[in-house]
């Protein structure tokens, strides 16, 4: 890990983290619980924790290096766009849960999956937006 840290690495790692969080949620939201799932869940959670530590270390190292100010501004633009998109998605999930919950058409597990799916979608959207906007130099 002696190489320089790029901001693209920091941004793209969020997709891996979102996928690992989705996998960890899947382990806990299963209805057919078997005794070995506890061990799988522990391994998955440990791996997620290690990835988070590695990501923190790389992000901390990036802040100490000389970084690209234009890329940072581009990332802030991407974050602003993604915040608005995520807000709309969460309002839709909340209203769908409230409306469909009255007729038992949506369970809490389904709402959880919608939230996890939104997190994955936002992580991917953020990375794609960053790649597009950074390549144009916006």
- Write out the chain's pLDDT in tens, 138 residues: 567 777 888 888 889 999 988 988 888 877 787 888 888 888 888 998 999 998 888 888 877 776 678 888 988 999 999 999 999 999 999 998 888 877 888 788 888 899 999 999 999 999 999 999 988 766
pTM for the full predicted model: 0.80
Per the CB < 8 A criterion, the answer to whether 82 and 125 are in contact is yes
- Rounded to an integer, what distance in angstroms lies between the CA atom of residue 62 and that of residue 42? 30
Give the number of C-alpha atoms closer than 13 A to the C-alpha of residue 92, restricted to the C-beta side.
10
């Amino acid at each position: 890990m002696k190489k320089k840290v790029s901001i693209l690495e920091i941004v793209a790692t969020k997709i891996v983290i979102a996928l690992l969080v989705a996998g960890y949620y899947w382990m806990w939201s299963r209805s057919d619980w078997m005794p070995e799932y506890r061990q799988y869940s522990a391994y998955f959670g440990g791996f997620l924790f290690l990835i988070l530590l590695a990501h923190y270390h790389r992000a901390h190292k990036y802040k100490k290096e000389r970084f690209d100010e234009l890329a940072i501004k581009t990332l802030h633009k991407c974050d602003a766009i993604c915040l608005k998109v995520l807000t709309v998605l969460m309002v839709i999930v909340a209203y769908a849960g409230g409306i469909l919950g009255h007729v038992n058409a949506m369970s809490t597990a389904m709402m959880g999956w919608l939230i996890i799916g939104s997190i994955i979608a936002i992580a991917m959207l953020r990375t794609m937006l960053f790649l597009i906007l950074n390549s144009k130099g916006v």
